[in-house]
Amino acid sequence: MEIYTRQETGTTVRDDPKARELLRRAFEKTARWQPDFKGFQANLTINDNGNTYTGTVTVKGPRDISVNVPDEHLRQWAQNQIGMIAIHRGPRSFEESDGKYALTVEEDIAHPLGVRLNIHGDGMESWYRIKDDRITQINRKMPHIAFTINVEESTVTPEHKYLTTRYTVYYFSPRDGSLTNVESFSDTHTRVQASDLPATRRIISYERAEIVTRLLTFSNHVLL
pLDDT tens digits, 137-171: 999 998 889 999 999 999 999 999 999 999 999 99
1 — pLDDT class (breaks 50, 70, 90): low
Residue 142 included in any domain: yes
Residue 50 included in any domain: yes
What pLDDT does residue 164 have? 97
Question: Per-residue pLDDT for 9 more than 70?
Answer: no
Question: Per-residue pLDDT for 126 more than 80?
Answer: yes
Residue 7 included in any domain: no
Question: Per-residue pLDDT for 63 more than 90?
Answer: no
Residue 135 included in any domain: yes
Question: Per-residue pLDDT for 6 more than 70?
Answer: no
Burial 93-119 (b: 16+ CB within 10 A, else e): eeeeebeebbbbbeeeeeeebbbbbbb
Residue 49 included in any domain: yes
What pLDDT does residue 38 have? 93
C-beta of residue 39 within 8 angstroms of C-beta of residue 58: yes
91 — pLDDT class (breaks 50, 70, 90): confident
**Domain membership of residue 23 as a residue range:** 17-223
Residue 31 included in any domain: yes
- Least confident span in 2-6, 155-159, 214-218: 2-6
Average pLDDT over residues 3-32: 84
Compute the distance between CA of residue 181 and CA of residue 169 in angstroms, rounded to an integer: 8
**Digit-coded pLDDT (tens) for 198-211:** 999 999 998 778 89
Average pLDDT over residues 100-121: 91
The per-residue pLDDT of the chain, averaged, comes to 92
Q: How many CA atoms lie within 13 A of 83 on its CB side?
A: 17
4 — pLDDT class (breaks 50, 70, 90): low
Question: Per-residue pLDDT for 114 more than 60?
Answer: yes
Residue 5 included in any domain: no
What pLDDT does residue 207 have? 79
Structural domains of the chain, count: 1
Average pLDDT over residues 28-36: 93
* Global pTM exceeds 0.75: yes
What pLDDT does residue 208 have? 75
Average pLDDT over residues 205-222: 92
Sheet holding 51-61, edge to edge: 64-68, 51-61, 40-48, 210-223, 195-207, 179-192, 162-172, 146-156, 134-141, 127-131, 115-120, 102-106
Residue 8 included in any domain: no
